[in-house]
Every structure is written in C-alpha cells, then in structure tokens.
Structure 1
Amino acid sequence: MTRTMAPEQLARLLAVPAGARPYYRALAEALRGRVHDGAIPVGVRLPAERHLAAALGVSRTTVTAAYDLLKDHGYVTARQGSGSTTALPVGGDTPWTIPVPGDGMIPLHVASMPAASQVAPAVAAAAASYHRHLLGIGYDPVGLPVLREAVARRYTERGVATRPEQILITPGAQQAMHLLFALLVRAGDPVLLESPTYAHAIQSVRLHGARAVAAGELMESSLRQAKVAYVLPDFHNPTGTLMDAAHRAALVAAARRHDVTLICDETWGEVAVDDVVMPPPLARWDTDNRVITIGSASKLWWGGLRVGWLRGTAELVERLSVLRSGVDLATAVFDQLVVAELFPRLEESRAERRAWLATSRAALTAALAEHLPGWTYPHPVGGGSIWARLDVPSAGPVVQAAAARGVRLAPGRWFGVDGACEGYLRLSYCHPPHVLADAVARIAAGPGRVPVTDNRLTPSL
C-alpha cells in the first residue's frame, strides 16, 4: 500500500523560508533535497496541491508550479486518479542551471561571462562577408573551411600538428560530446569520469544509457574498468586545476596499455587566470589516435556563439558527420564566420579575460575569507570557478537559504558521480566583483550553516 504524507508533516519537513524567490523553485528544491537525503522516501504519495498550499499558506498555483518542475526533472510522477508520488530521475540528478530572466537572482551557479569586446567587431566583419555564402545551400556537416582551418592552425601552434580534415565543427562543445558518446558507447557500457567532473558530461553519459563510473583522482589506475574515459586536463571544471605534463603523458600511456579512448574536454583551455606555463595538449602524447579533443568558443568569447569543435582523425570526422544527421545537419553559418573572425584576435581576448577573471576571483576569495572562513578550496589557476568545501556536511540547506536571499548556487552533487560531493559548492567568479561580494554576504547571512567552531548540525541563526 502506498504511503501518503500529510500536508502539515510535509510543510514542516520542507521549511521553505517565507521570503524565498521565486517561491515555487525554492519549494521544489527543498522537496528534491529531502528526497535525496532520505527524509522523504521514494514512492510516497504527496499531499494534494490545495492541501499543501493551505499548510504552507501559499496559493495553489505556487504548489502546482513546484510539482510540475519536479515532474519535469523526474522527482515526481503522476497518474490520473493516483495523485503525485516521489521518485528519483532515471538519468540521475539534473542541474537546474538555466537562469530565469528578470527573477532578480544572482546566478552564481553559472560560469559564463558577457561577450568579450572582440565579439562586436567580429560580428560586423562576419556580416560584411555573409552575402558571399548566400548562393550556397547553407548546409556543411563538417563545418566551414575557413573555420576548420583556423581551429587546425591553433592546434598546430600549440604543438599538435593538425589538418583541417581532422576538425569537425559543432553547435557547441556539448553536441560534440553527445556525438562521441553516441558513437563510442552502448547501453550499459561503463564510461570513466573524474569526480567531480563537468555536470553535463554525467548527464550525457546517462542519456546514452551508459554507466558513469567515478575514477576520482585515480584515473590512470582506473582505466582498466572502461573503454572510454572523459577528462578535463585544462582548468578543470569545477576545480580549476591544471594537469601537468608528466600526468598527461602517464594518462595517455595508461590509456594505450588498456586500449581506452580518451575524450579530452578543453572548453576552458584558453582561459588561464594566473601566469602559468601551459603544458602541451593531451593529444601531444597520442601515437595511435585514441585521444579525441573537444573545444569551444563559449568560454573565451561568448556563450551565445553556439560553436564548438572536436579534433580526431579524418576518418572519425567523416563518421561523426554522418551520425550528426540524426541530430542536425550543420552549424549556423553566421556563427561560424564570427568565430573565424575571432581567431586572429585570440591573444587579445585571452588577455582581456585574464584581467576580468583575476579581479573577480580576488573579490570572491576576499569575500569568502571575510564571511565564510571555514570554507576551503584549491587555488584555481584558470577557468571560472572555485570548488569550495563547506563547513557543514551538506550543501542542501545552504543552497535553499541562499535562494531565499536571492542567490542561486550550484551544489556539489551536480558534479559528483552517483551523488558524491554533497558537502561542496561550485562558486562561479565570472561575475563583476561587487556582485560577488554581495552574493557571499547574502549566503553568509542565511540559515543552513553552523559556525566554524561548532560541529552540531543545527542551523546557526
């Protein structure tokens, strides 16, 4: 017999602050968190919307919106005549990373910057040459030659000789990842991931029915467990760390011994913050075509330019160009022209991003030292985020309290395989210094934390 939770009992368990905004999202996040921590078991029937609304003192529309959001993400199932029941998503936890325009929230969960200043003139230059392409059909499944040449030239400059035929242009790095998993793995196959790792890589693995296997920091010794591994050697997302040359060489050598294909994500690879000597790309040590590299225009230049690429063999590019027809037929011509115009401005863009991120990182770390000295993190030498270990066991209450005060956070579980990293947050420093200082002050002022010297689990007030 299905258990039913009384509305008053559920309201007490959720304890959503009255000032949370938007309230329906805070309500949904609170319920999702209680399902994850086991306080609300899977398979429990939830109160009717009008009854929970009455217990919470909110409108029925608000509870309906929260239930609908939970249904969309797999935490609630509903059948006609049976009501709404708690569940866990088949594909695992889903990051709710899309900002809601105009909701007034500080999007500290998003590690993206406004467009670099070089983008506007590149758009103008692309617009001036766009008419030359109008006589063509507009579909190029491998990408415009001018952009493939620019990407190949950049790899060659970095020490990995590359021909344009080895480059496939995609609508963002995410689609490059999707195509590779679609080609290389089958349902049930293990895919080795660092933990923490890029949240959407975990999603993509599960979307293809494969098993995400956590390697942690033991990637080299774990390679025997899978035939495909996904790694982020350049300014790792979320930790910001940079893999050194010796580790890269050892990783590729281990992949060769165990016959593993390495998918190397270099999305943040051009965004150094400190003055570091960049090791050669992972593909530099590849002697038998087992390293496939993904790149993107989104972090260096702008997320609105939906242009990514991958580097592999010419034969791999041909196979993927055929496979992609089941997803789309080509990448937008205009966006490709803009990115092609940006490559000659690459060093200028890197210097601008370094100055922006260094100032913002300093503001974030200063605010954390002042307001949250119990939080610890490795120093990120590049990328756009800090991986903070909290002074409490779970980020859930901190995320809830921050949302009530107008700050949206990215909990560690988004980046941990199988729900790991519960006591962490990824804090983006891709925002202006005053915004970061304000955000940290709001987080520190909220409930859900305990003092640094207090090991109790009760919230400090």
Structure 2
Amino acid sequence: MSVELAGRRLDVDLLARELGNWRTSSRSGPAYQGLADGLRMLIVDGRLPVGAQLPSERALADALRVSRTTVTAAYTQMREDGYLKGRQGARSTTALPVAAPAPTPKLAGTAVAKLAGTAVANLAGRAVANLAAATLAAPVAAVAQAFEEAAAQVTPYLHDIGIELVGVRPLREAIAERYCARGLPTEPDEIMVTTGALHAIGLILATYTQPGDRVLVEQPTYHGALAAMATKGVRPVPVAMTPDGWDLDAIDAAVRQLSPNLAYLIPDNHNPTGMTLPPAGRRRLAQIIAETRTRTIIDETITDMWLDEMVPPPFAASMAARRDLVLTVGSMSKSYWGGLRIGWIRGERNALATIGAMRPAVDMGTPIVEQLAAASLLGLADDVLPDRRDTLRVRRALLLALLDQHLPDWRPDLSKGGMSLWVRLPAPMSTALSAAASRMGLEIPPGPRFGVDGTLERFIRVPYTLPEEQLTEAVELLARAWRSVTGTGAVGVEFAAVVV
C-alpha cells in the first residue's frame, strides 16, 4: 500500500512501517546497504512516489533505531545510484535513474566479472530476465487470425461514433456462451466489457467504495488489485490463507466483525498460490456472502489455466441466494495474450447498470477492433487452451527440477493450476533477495508485494511462463542472488563484495 503523503513529504512512521524487515539485506553487507536496498525497492515497486521528499536523516534514524551515520550512508548510496536527488544535509526527493554510470569495480575472477556485467546492464535499464510477469507469450497464429477477422468485421461500426460502454454484442455473446458452457446461465446483457481485468476491478471499486472503506482480501493475493485499492484509498483487510487453502472460518469471522464494504477473492487457480477452492468450500463461502450481504469481486482471470484438475463451475453458480452480490471479473490476458487488453464483468443487470452510470467519469469504453478479435479468439478456445496448458505443465516441471537443483532448501507449494509457484524461503529475506536479483539483472517482486503491511517476507512468487532457456537462466540468477544475500557459496560472497 502506498505511503500517505502530506504536501508530498513522506511521513517517517509510515515509511518505517513500509520498510518492514529491511535489516535482512545487511546480513551479507553493511546495514546502510540493506536500508538503501529497502528504500530503492519501495521506489521501484511504486510504493514510494517519485518526487516525494524523504524524511530527514535524523528523523528516519530515530524511527528505525539506527545511527544517523547508517541513514546518511544509505541516502548517499541511493544518490549515487540515481534513486535520490538532492544534496547531503537537505531534504532529498525520490527518483528513478535514467541511466546509471558503469562502475569500474576491481573484479575477482571470471564468474564475478560476468555477474558484475549483468548488474551494470540492469542499472542501465536492460533486464537480463524477468520473473515479474506471470503470463505467456501469444499463440501467434490464432491471435493473428483473430485480428484479421476483426479487421474484416469492423466496417459496420465505422458508421457510428465507436463508443461502446458495455461492449460490442458479438463479444458479450461469446463471453455469455462461455459461462453457460461452464454451468452458469448468462445473458449478453449480464456482461460489461472492460479494458482488462484490472480496469474491471477499478470500475467496481470506484462504484462501490469510498476512501477509507474496508475491502476483505486473501493474504497473499494479486498485487495489482492491492495497488488499485491503494489508488482508491480503501483499506484492504487481509485474511491469511493456510497451506491447505482458504480459512473460511477466519473469513466468516472477519466479515462479521469488520463489516467490509467489499470483498475481493480469487477462488480459481489463485494468484499467487495456484490453489482452487473446492465445491464444498465454494458453497460455504457463498453462504457467508449471502448471510452477511457482502458484495464480492470474484477474480476468474486465471480460470482457464488449470493443469491437474479442471476447476469447478463459476463461483456465482454456487450462490443459491443473493447472486446480485457477486461480480465476476474475467480477462483474455492469461488465457490468450497480455497485449490484448480485454476484460469483463459478469453481474446482475442492476449492478451493471450502476457501474455503467459511473463509467463515463472513468473512460469511454474499450477499443472495438480488440473486442472483435477477442470474440474470434473465444471461438478458438478448444484449439488454443489445451496447448497452452500443456506448455505450462512442461515449464512447471522444469521449474520444480531447477529449484530442486539450485535451491534445494526452498519449499514450493504444490498447486493444481495457475502460472506460478508460491515458494517458502528458508529465511524471511524476500525483499533482500528481490533487491539483489534486480542488481544482477533479474526482476522478481518480493513476497510483501502480494500482501498487506509488509508481511510475507518468507515467500516469493516464481512464475513458470518463460520459455525453457530463459527460465533456466532466470533460476540460475535467482540462485546467485540468494547466495549473495545469505552469504553462502563462493560466487555469492564475491558478487556481494563487488556490488557493495
């Protein structure tokens, strides 16, 4: 969640809370490096806005209970790396480096030279590998065919103004048919097309919440939804998931005690854990929602990406009563292509009318050609999706083998679907690991990004969506980063000496 601002000055107590357990970075180096890493990752993650003033060195030192020398050295390191602007002794403002000057470290061996090279490349903005996005490349032939068909179909729409606040009829019909086939009778006018799933979530938040309202979420959960909540000024109320899945008793208690204005849940191929709520759990959750009258967003963005067992029918089908409380969000991004920014909301007509009345204040609809292409792709689902699931199965097996080879102490949760592994680390050092990996050219978000209030330091999400060669390279870099923050292994120690 973003730190609150007052005149674009960061509150020192809130900043200290956002930093969380930053000291884990200093286990393989000086304390100031751990603090600099923690602040830098907050800026990179967007949790500290660019251009905001950091607290004074003395104030931050008091809040963190460290020496002022430690804070001064951390600020100096960040200025040298381009993440702060300003001079020592004055208020500094956060920044993102345009390009970092190449350092000239004294290298110790070929392996260290190679690692230092990747660090320099990353500081210049050229990531070697990316484990930040859990999504596949497009099925090229199918997407190209869909756009060709869309171009041939768009002519009738050119005679109108081209603004479709609910979506073109062919796409809404295709989405409705998809729900009917999965066991949830749906009419086209129970669908609103959006510009991606995150846009759909934002529209619902804008319609049904006010700043300061509570929204119940799983912990961990999709970090994009948490960012959307932070933008709207709402307060996520986390309910921790267990190794076995959802703690429905805890959800029931939280809803009854805190009366959240909204709930946001991912019951299918959960992001980031890959778990799916079984039918009995769906019925219990539906009962909780109905009894407490809690309006709930059900995120089905990754529903198609089941790997071991087909997911149950849509959650809304479990609602024997008060189906009007459930707003189901879907998307083309995970199933087909992230570049196709098409999502939707499936809900009762009155709910969609309420959202539709607010929508012109946010946007004027979703591009028509992309909608027509999406409709064509949905018609190819039986040809496209099995191959994509097969690809994910192969890459999941490879990732598990790579982790077993390079990081045998890590404990991935075994799930039956999704696009990533949620991995338990031997020590709560996720933020430090993410920072070290970033310096080596590997982008991977730390565990706390998927939770509330800086928790989840013992976890990290590792997608298995990259091609095999890239995934292998990424895990090798991840292992080097882990050795660098834990001080284990010759390569990790040498690299830490070079970078620091």
State TM-score, norm by structure 2.
0.74
Take 1:409 and 1:111, find their aligned partners in 2: how far apart are those partners? 10
Contact 1:391/1:449 (8 A) holds in 2 = no
Q: Which amino acid aligns with 1:320?
A: I
Contact 1:119/1:342 (8 A) holds in 2 = yes
**Aligned residue number for residue 182 of structure 2:** 158
**Aligned residue number for residue 367 of structure 1:** 402
2:486 counterpart of 1:449:
yes
Equivalent runs, 1:253-332 vs 2, <5 Å: 253-274=287-308, 276-286=309-319, 287-288=321-322, 289-332=324-367
Take 1:134 and 1:404, find their aligned partners in 2: how far apart are those partners? 49
Take 2:226 and 2:301, find their aligned partners in 1: how far apart are those partners? 16
Take 1:147 and 1:100, find their aligned partners in 2: how far apart are those partners? 43
Contact 2:56/2:90 (8 A) holds in 1 = no
Mean Cα displacement is larger for which, 218-227 or 164-173? Answer: 218-227
Equivalent runs, 1:87-166 vs 2, <5 Å: 103-117=126-140, 118-166=142-190
Q: Deviations over 1:234-283 (max 9, x none)?
A: 10000011110110110010111111111100000111122x13211110
234, 241, 245: which one aligns with 2:279: 245
**Aligned residue number for residue 29 of structure 1:** 41
Q: Deviations over 1:274-297 (max 9, x none)?
A: 2x1321111012221111100000
Q: 3-state SS of the aligned residue for 1:263? A: strand
**Aligned residue number for residue 346 of structure 1:** 381
Shift of 1:150: 0.7
Shift of 1:354: 0.6
2:459 counterpart of 1:424:
yes
Contact 1:450/1:460 (8 A) holds in 2 = no
Q: Deviations over 1:161-215 (max 9, x none)?
A: 1111110000011111011111111222211000000111112222222211111
66, 70, 75: which one aligns with 2:83: 66
State TM-score, norm by structure 1.
0.80
Equivalent runs, 1:81-92 vs 2, <5 Å: 82-84=90-92
Contact 1:227/1:259 (8 A) holds in 2 = no
Shift of 1:26: 9.7
Mean Cα displacement is larger for which, 137-146 or 116-125? Answer: 116-125
Q: 3-state SS of the aligned residue for 1:379? A: coil
Give the aligned length: 406
Runs of 4+ in 1 over 6 A off after TM superposition: 24-27, 30-33, 51-55, 99-102
2:33 counterpart of 1:15:
yes
Take 1:333 and 1:190, find their aligned partners in 2: how far apart are those partners? 35
Take 1:283 and 1:25, find their aligned partners in 2: how far apart are those partners? 43
Take 2:261 and 2:497, find their aligned partners in 1: how far apart are those partners? 47
Contact 1:167/1:310 (8 A) holds in 2 = yes
Q: Which runs of 5+ in 2 are unaligned?
A: 1-10, 13-25, 49-53, 61-67, 95-121, 242-249, 490-495
Take 2:206 and 2:282, find their aligned partners in 1: how far apart are those partners? 26
**Aligned residue number for residue 204 of structure 1:** 228
